[in-house]
């Protein structure tokens, strides 16, 4: 793991960001982890990927995409931290009540899972959120059935907030699947 570099992306690296996202959307649990499908993503024009990466590249204030890069230059994992501002709405349409970070798009290639690299990604993400973005709380949303991810998020300090969000309705009008909010608060510094 020591030969990997964890860093923010640069705006000109949209092709690598696109490739990593497409790999994530082909993962067997992608249907539990992402709202977007492979078919939707692969059909997007280059301009979409260029803008997406530019908005979360090194030096951006409202978001940061952080990746793990192997010694050969291959991106093996990544995530994005978005800054949510009070008075706006999140992806579910719910009101954002406080300035906070929101971790999305977490992915690690299967052959690099379990070696501690995802922990390093989360350390970098939280450092950016606390220091560069100045937030006091970071959240993420995880599918109720994604037990492996929930276990990892707890291990790196996130806890369930008690907030749940329906993903849609079943054929009988009942809520069929739920997303759970996990949060971590910045530790107080005297």
- Residue 69 makes CB contacts below 8 A (sequence gap 6+) with 4, 5, 6, 7, 75, 76
What is the predicted pLDDT for the residue at 173?
46
Assess contact for 11 and 54: CB atoms under 8 A: yes
Distance (Å, whole) CA 183 – CA 158:
5
Domain spans of the chain, in order of start: 5-185
Pairing of the two strands 137-143 and 100-108:
parallel
Name which of 111, 91, 103, 147 is nearest 27 in CA terms: 111
Distance (Å, whole) CA 144 – CA 160:
11
Order across the sheet with 137-143: list the strands: 5-8, 63-69, 75-84, 100-108, 137-143, 175-185, 159-169
What is the predicted pLDDT for the residue at 49?
98
Distance (Å, whole) CA 85 – CA 62:
9
What is the predicted pLDDT for the residue at 189?
54
Global pTM reads 0.91
CATH class, range 5-185: alpha beta
Pairing of the two strands 137-143 and 175-185:
antiparallel
What is the predicted pLDDT for the residue at 172?
45
CA pseudo-torsion sign 58, 93, 105, 83: positive
What is the predicted pLDDT for the residue at 177?
79
Averaged pLDDT in 10-residue chunks for the chain of 190 residues: 90 98 96 93 98 97 97 97 94 89 96 95 97 94 93 97 77 66 82
């Amino acid at each position: 793991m020591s030969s990997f570099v964890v860093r923010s992306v640069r705006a000109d690296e949209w092709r690598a960001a696109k490739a990593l996202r497409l790999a994530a959307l082909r993962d067997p649990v992608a249907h539990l982890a992402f709202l977007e499908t492979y078919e939707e993503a692969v059909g997007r024009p280059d301009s979409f990927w260029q803008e997406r990466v530019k908005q979360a590249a090194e030096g951006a204030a409202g978001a940061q995409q952080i990746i793990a890069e192997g010694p050969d230059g291959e991106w093996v994992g990544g995530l994005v931290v978005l800054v949510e501002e009070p008075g706006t709405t999140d992806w579910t349409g719910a009101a954002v009540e406080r300035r906070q970070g929101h971790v999305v798009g977490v992915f690690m290639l299967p052959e690099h899972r379990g070696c501690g690299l995802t922990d390093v990604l989360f350390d970098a993400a939280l450092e950016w959120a606390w220091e560069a973005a100045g937030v006091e709380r970071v959240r993420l949303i995880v599918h109720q059935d994604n037990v492996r991810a929930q276990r990892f998020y707890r291990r790196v300090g996130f806890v369930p907030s008690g907030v749940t969000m329906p993903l849609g309705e079943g054929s009988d009008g009942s809520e069929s699947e739920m997303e759970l909010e996990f949060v971590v608060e910045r530790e107080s510094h005297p």
